[in-house]
Chains A and B, each alone.
Chain A
Amino acid sequence: MTPRYSIFSLLRNAFSYHENWQQAWQSVEPKPRYDVVIVGGGGHGLATAYYLAKLHGIKSIAVVERGWLGGGNTGRNTTIVRSNYLWDQSAALYEHALKLWEGLSQDINYNVMFSQRGVLNLAHNQHDLRETLRRVNANRLNGVDSEFLNAQQVKEMVPVIDLRAGGRYPVLGASLQRRGGTARHDAVAWGYARAANALGVDIIQECPVNGFRIEGGRIKGVETAKGYIEAGKVGIVTAGHSSVMANMAGFRLPVQSVPLQALVSEPVKPVIDTVVMSGAVHAYISQSDKGELVIGAGVDGYIGYGQRGSMQVTEETLAAICELFPLFRRMRMLRQWGGIVDVCPDASPILSKTPVEHLYMNCGWGTGGFKATPGSGWAFAHTIAKDAPHELNAAFSLDRFRTGFLIDEHGAAAVAH
């Protein structure tokens, strides 16, 4: 029985110098068989396991993870949460996720530090401005909160932004989603792991999957470094390694894996209390609770599995940040890293059944998967439990590349790809 975290448990443990906290989840060795095996112990995989156990009453579930929980893209993103996507299908899916974010800390009894500090998407030229207004209107029609700010209102909200005339990237306006913000990404992985584990989900770390056993077009189990695990159903949620997994199962995916970079600066006093994103110049910035500036960059222009990213991408991003925020010019960057993101041709995810029966794929989130974590897990759990997609993710099928019904969010969603 996992004890609840509360003010009383905090007090009780304070008396014993915080030395008696229980482990948040148990690491176990795999059993020979599970009803559902989830491959990939990032936020999306753990959320899937949690909702499968909580909402669909499946008792025997395992999450197998190659490394450690949240050690991949869950712990590498810039923690931004928003739902202001252009198209109806995306707006519905991301808005569902945002609603789950709003109650997540209570739901999983783990403080994910979800902070609705607002997200600004800047417009730098007339075209950006028209697209921003179009997206703001589309969002409002879909029930997603969205406002348009003119340059002066942007300056009032973010005083450190440079709006003097003649700058390299003039700011003509911005969209603002007030319900957007940030969350602590590690806590999302740990919180879902703890909550799933409390419902009986086995979490197996340091357990790479080496192959799938498929008989008569139907999944039978997974070959792992810790032996063969028989499985009724298998869900693959492996982000950058989705193609590698799909190839093991004998089919191809329309995704390309590329490194996406981020950086953090040295910690400073509070200077920016919202999230500023600029898709046009590939630069996002927010400030963490520790005071570090968290900066997101663009992707490399070619396939790569090295978790670092090209130097010129870092340089371009920092150049743009320095243009927009001249007072950050003398900041020093503490860390730079990359995560491997799997980008679909239409920049929308795949949450779908596959050519193999009872094998399901959740991938293609590209550069913006973190914000969708709860919604992705929720919809994927439904897809696995019912062997059919939910209304929310029906359009995000693998088959859309055959039918041509793409959900083209490239640029449309204020995302830099």
Chain B
Amino acid sequence: MLLIACPHCGPRAESEFHCGGEAHIERPKDPASLSDAEWAEFVFLRDNPKGLLFERWHHSHGCRRWFNLARDTVTYEILAVYPMGSPPPALDPRRYV
């Protein structure tokens, strides 16, 4: 089980949180002009790296606030916790394979 440092509540067990998927995906500015392929990209295509991943987490059984995590998907190390809206920290991408 992960020990996640909620920026508002401090370190808590993974079971209090809900993962909201990949971070930094912006809703298209002009949705009407998007092609089907671009919509598919926005709706369905996600990074699935073996290594560093930026994702959103929600402290659903705690303060109920969202934040971002940088996590290694192989070792499960949490490399950074940072607020919503800020750019991803510069970290080694750690690509395995």
Q: Which single member of B2, B44, B53, B96 contacts A345 (CB below 8 Å)?
A: B44
Interface 9-mer from A54-62, A117-125, A163-171, A248-256: A248-256
Q: Bound state CA distance, A403 and B40, in angstroms?
A: 8
Bound: A415/B55 CA distance, A: 26
Bound: A345/B22 CA distance, A: 14
Tell me the nearest residue of chain B to A342, going by C-beta.
B48
Choice from A241, A247, A401 contacting B40 with Cβ under 8 Å: A401
A311 at the interface (CB under 8 A from B): yes
What range describes how many residues of B lie at the interface?
20 to 34
Task: Report how far A346 CA is from B45 CA in the complex, Å.
Answer: 12
Q: Which size bracket describes the interface of A in this complex?
A: 20 to 34
The 8 A CB mask of A215-248 against B (1 = contact, 0 = none) is 0000000000000000000000000010110010
CB of B32 within 8 Å of the partner chain: no
Beta-carbon nearest neighbor of A308 in chain B: B76
Partner of B96, one of A252, A254, A257, A305: A305
Find chain B residues with CB under 8 A from A404 CB: 36
Residues in A284-313 with C-beta less than 8 Å from chain B: 301-306, 310-312
A251: shortest Cβ distance to chain B, in Å?
10
Q: Which of A243, A244, A256, A305 has the most C-beta atoms of chain B within 10 angstroms of its own C-beta?
A: A305
What residues on A are CB-neighbors of B47 within 8 Å?
Answer: 252
Chain A residues with Cβ under 8 A from B18's Cβ? Answer: 301
> Which residues, 384 to 406 on A, are CB-close (under 8 Å) to B?
401-404
CB < 8 Å neighbour of A254 from B44, B49, B55: B44
Q: Considering the chains assembled together, what is the distance between the CA atoms of A324 and B71 in angstroms?
A: 36
The reply to whether B1 and A310 form a contact with Cβ atoms under 8 Å apart is yes
Closest to B57 in A: A302
Given the contacts A244-B97, A402-B36, A304 and B48 also touching, CB distance less than 8 Å: no
Which of chain A's residues have a CB closer than 8 A to the CB of B43?
345, 401
A67 within 8 A of B: no
Selected from A208, A247, A252, A310, the residue in CB contact (under 8 A) with B14 is A310
Shortest Cβ gap from B36 to chain A (Å): 5
Interface pair A402/B40, CB less than 8 Å apart: yes
User: Which chain A residue has the least Cβ–Cβ distance from B76?
Assistant: A306
Docked Cα-Cα span, A146 to B79, in Å, equals 49
Return A198 CB to nearest CB of chain B, in Å.
32
Residue contact B1 to A303, C-beta cutoff 8 Å = no
Q: How far is the CB of B76 from chain A (nearest CB, A)?
A: 6
- What are the residues of chain A within 8 A of B76 when measuring CB–CB? 304, 306
Quick one: which of B1, B44, B71 has the most chain A CB within 10 A? B44
Query: In whole angstroms, what is the CA distance A311 to B39 when docked?
Result: 36
B80 part of interface (Cβ distance < 8 Å): no
Measured in the bound complex, the distance between the Cα atoms of B2 and A61 in whole Å is: 43
B46 is an interface residue with CB less than 8 A from chain A: yes
With contact pairs A244-B97, A312-B14 given, residues A301 and B19 touching in the complex (Cβ less than 8 Å): yes
Q: Which residues of B contact A306 (CB under 8 A)?
A: 73-76
Give me the interface of A with B, judged by CB distance under 8 Å: 208, 210, 241, 243-244, 247, 252-257, 301-306, 310-312, 342, 345, 401-404
Contact surface of B with A, Cβ cutoff 8 Å: 1-2, 13-15, 18-19, 36-37, 39-40, 43-50, 53, 55, 71, 73-76, 96-97
Give the top 6 A-B pairs by smallest Cβ distance, nearest first: A243-B48, A302-B19, A254-B44, A402-B40, A401-B44, A311-B1
Ordered by A's residue number, 8 sampled pairs between the chains whose C-beta atoms are within 8 Å are A208-B97, A241-B97, A305-B96, A306-B76, A312-B1, A312-B13, A402-B36, A404-B36
